Amino acid sequence: MTATAVVHLHPPGRLLALVGNPNCGKTALFNLLTGSRQKVANYAGVTVERKEGRLITHAGHTVRVLDLPGTYSLHPRSPDERVTCEVLNGQALGERRPDLVVCVVDATNLRRNLRLVLAVRRLGMPCVVALNMTDLAERRGITIDADQLSGALGVPVVRTVGIAREGDAGLRRILDDPTLWLRSADHETLHDSSSLLADHDAVRSILQRLGLDELIPHEASDRIDRVVLHPVVGPLLLAAFLFLMFQAVFAWAEVPMQWIETATAWLAAGAGTLLPAGWASSLLVDGVIAGAGSVLAFLPQIVILFFFILLLEDSGYLPRAAFLLDRLMGAVGLSGRSFIPLLSSHACAVPGIMAARTIADPRDRLVTIMIAPLMTCSARLPVYTLLIGAFIPQRVIGGWIELQGLVLLFLYAAGILGAMLVAWVLKRFTAAGRHVRPLMMELPQYHLPSPRNIALGLWQRVVIFVRRVGTIILSLTVLMWFLASFPTPPPGATGAPILHSFAGMLGQALAVLFEPIGFNWQISVALVPGLAAREVVVSALGTVYSLSASGIDAAQSLAPLIARDWGLATGLSLLAWFVFAPQCLSTLAVVRRETGGWTWPLVMAAYLFALAYLAAFIVYRSASLLGGN
């Protein structure tokens, strides 16, 4: 029996890895270095996010850049820290060892950041220290002699400001030095002392040489925190910010949404005029344009939602929000560390579940994974917007509160309350859940959000959304058109032609299951492709109703059609369903990878279906009794 050698092929050229503690500004520097030349994937075999980009040096050389997950040491305690260590040691599957490591350190907190630098140096790799956030350090009266620090560490030190336009100029220049890529990071004196003393003693010695052994408080952040972290004022400010965010999602997006809907209608009319009547015209107009266009119209709302989330991230407020909610989450058996994964789940449950890997306690991590899908992801937003626009009137309460925005906030809150209820139940029935674990976390300094970082983050979300519309959603929309168009009705058949199609037959069969909660056959069949992606429910409804409509109805947008065809009770029931709706297949697949089997994904799908059906049943029956049919 002979052994088979496994050969890994890697892209040619120099490879640079950015390493640093969380909140050191590493990702901001990565964005500045690489701009739009980025791609995001996962490391082979794990769900840890892999961010790679390309930078062009001043001399025109191209360098591959890896943004490694943040870590405090090279003794990994979580999967993301383990990936960083494996990459630096050349043990990561599908990635070679970097040619150069750039240790990004927060200039306002050298005491903590330099420990990681010492650990990286002991690996014997070419190394550069990027002294980041030097602008903030200078405002606080912290003056760092880069040359003296370089002498103490035995590696080059350059100043950077990750949020400034030319804040990476010094790093780009030094990367053109060919000797840098061959420089050994071993420094005899420091290496010997590090083997005799703990790293914190070595760091203290370096800071004493620099005259920085005394901590300098960040007075501005401290003053802000006295208000933001106040036990009464803090939660009220957080609630006010969230209220403003959901009001803006409707108020600010109305005009651009109308532009997209008008453009879609114009495109559909033009295509219908150019093509003769037949299956090709129906595929393009009723399938592609009506389906994909109905989802694309919600892009402005998704951009607005992510704009506010990026503001929270880039300003340093997110850890404060976790601290504020720690007591509330402790009451249901979780810690504030679950806040950031749960907040990430409002974008998509997949990265939220992946973010839970930073939670050290296995029980807390599993519970966070299980309740993450209850957070209202951005894929639900088109469904919510469609239904709210169809069944909730445009009304201003008290002269400034949008009723539709208030309903959207309530739906998000219902998901959060549902998640807290599930976590509370798990706390009551598990011994580990009754043990409250104190939250210890670092609070970074406040700083003004970088317009560049926010613009880049929004652009990435737009690209992801449009790519989904052009791939997954478009493919499923075309499939739905086919199912709704074939087979054609037999001669002499009565009723709408679509009722005789595959989709019509499937919808009528499923309607038996969903009739108690008020769903008609169109809704029932639209839920099937929604298992792949939530937004497809909107495009599926658009396709089904486009094929069902005739005459003046075909020119109407989807909202007026469903408002006329459904009762208020049905619309409210579908809203309740989507608060708890079973997760998409990609989420269940990630849960399987994170938990190591199919047991927990199946449990998740079952309990979410039960909650969704129960909530929809209660809402439908209650609304019907109150005259909402």
Note the pLDDT of residue 623.
93
User: Does some domain include residue 607?
Assistant: no
Query: How far is C-alpha 589 from the geometric centre of its chain's CA atoms?
Result: 17
52 three-state secondary structure: strand
Note the pLDDT of residue 36.
65
* Tally of residues, the chain: 629
* Cis bond before residue 449 (omega within 30° of 0): no
- pLDDT band with cut points at 50, 70 and 90 for residue 270: confident
Share in percent of the chain as helix, strand, coil (round to 5): 60, 5, 30
Cβ-count burial of 154 within 10 angstroms (0-12 exposed, 13-18 middle, 19+ buried)? middle
Least confident of 51-60, 128-137, 225-234, 492-501: 492-501
Q: Mind listing the pLDDT tens digit for each residue in 286-342? A: 778 877 777 787 788 888 878 888 888 888 887 788 778 777 777 787 776 787 788
Q: Mind listing the pLDDT tens digit for each residue in 432-469? A: 555 555 556 667 778 788 888 888 888 888 887 788 77
Note the pLDDT of residue 503.
87
Average pLDDT, the chain: 82
**CB contact set of 283 (below 8 Å; sequence gap of 6+):** 478, 481, 485
Tell me what the mean pLDDT of segment 49-54 comes to. 82
Whether the pLDDT of residue 591 is over 70: the answer is: yes
More confident residue, 348 or 114: 114
**CB contact set of 87 (below 8 Å; sequence gap of 6+):** 17, 66, 68, 95, 97, 98
- Domain with 200 in it: 14-216
What are the two backbone dihedrals, phi and then psi, of residue 164, each rounded to the nearest 5 degrees?
-100, 150
Note the pLDDT of residue 299.
84
Rounded to a whole number, what is the distance in angstroms from the first to the last CA of the chain?
73
Q: What residues form DSSP beta bridges with 39?
A: 52
Q: Which DSSP string do the residues of 320-375 spell out, in sequence order?
A: HHHHHTHHHHHHTT--GGGHHHHHHTTT-HHHHHHHGGG--SHHHHHHHHHHGGGS
Query: How far is C-alpha 575 from the geometric centre of its chain's CA atoms?
Result: 23
* CA–CA separation, 253 and 378 (whole Å): 15
Percent of the chain exceeding pLDDT 70 equals 87
Tell me what the mean pLDDT of segment 578-593 comes to. 85
Note the pLDDT of residue 614.
96
Whether the pLDDT of residue 194 is over 50: the answer is: no
**What are the C-alpha distances in Å from 119 to residues 85, 154, 155, 420, 494?**
11, 13, 13, 40, 77
Task: Give the best-scoring range by mean pLDDT among 329-338, 556-565, 577-586.
Answer: 577-586
Domains in the chain: how many in total?
A: 1
Task: Please name the helix (run of DSSP H) or strand (run of DSSP E) that holds residue 101, with its range, or none.
Answer: strand 100-106
More confident residue, 200 or 466: 466
* CA–CA separation, 547 and 507 (whole Å): 14
Maximal C-alpha separation, the chain: 95
* Cis bond before residue 487 (omega within 30° of 0): yes
Note the pLDDT of residue 590.
83
User: Does some domain include residue 170?
Assistant: yes
Note the pLDDT of residue 345.
82
Note the pLDDT of residue 402.
85
User: Does some domain include residue 543?
Assistant: no
Q: Mind listing the pLDDT tens digit for each residue in 363-412? A: 888 899 999 999 988 888 889 988 998 999 888 887 778 888 889 889 98
Burial 396-417 (b: 16+ CB within 10 A, else e): eeeeeebebbbbbbebbebbbe
Note the pLDDT of residue 4.
43
Whether the pLDDT of residue 200 is over 90: the answer is: no
**64: amino acid identity, one letter:** R
Least confident of 18-32, 457-471, 548-562: 548-562
**What are the C-alpha distances in Å from 601 to residues 78, 339, 420, 593?**
22, 21, 19, 10
Residue matched to tokens 């929000």? 321
* CA–CA separation, 183 and 302 (whole Å): 47
Note the pLDDT of residue 213.
65
Note the pLDDT of residue 218.
63
User: Does some domain include residue 521?
Assistant: no
User: Does some domain include residue 21?
Assistant: yes
Percent of the chain exceeding pLDDT 90 equals 23
Note the pLDDT of residue 195.
45
Q: Mind listing the pLDDT tens digit for each residue in 63-108? A: 999 999 888 888 887 777 888 899 999 888 778 899 999 999 999 8
Which of 93, 117, 95 is closest to 106 using CA atoms? 117
Tell me what the mean pLDDT of segment 257-282 comes to. 84
Whether the pLDDT of residue 134 is over 50: the answer is: yes
Note the pLDDT of residue 601.
93
User: Does some domain include residue 4?
Assistant: no
CATH number at residue 124: 3.40.50.300
User: Does some domain include residue 39?
Assistant: yes
* CA–CA separation, 33 and 67 (whole Å): 11
Strand 401-402 vs strand 49-56: parallel, antiparallel, or unpaired? Answer: unpaired
Whether the pLDDT of residue 605 is over 70: the answer is: yes
Whether the pLDDT of residue 189 is over 50: the answer is: no
User: Does some domain include residue 480?
Assistant: no
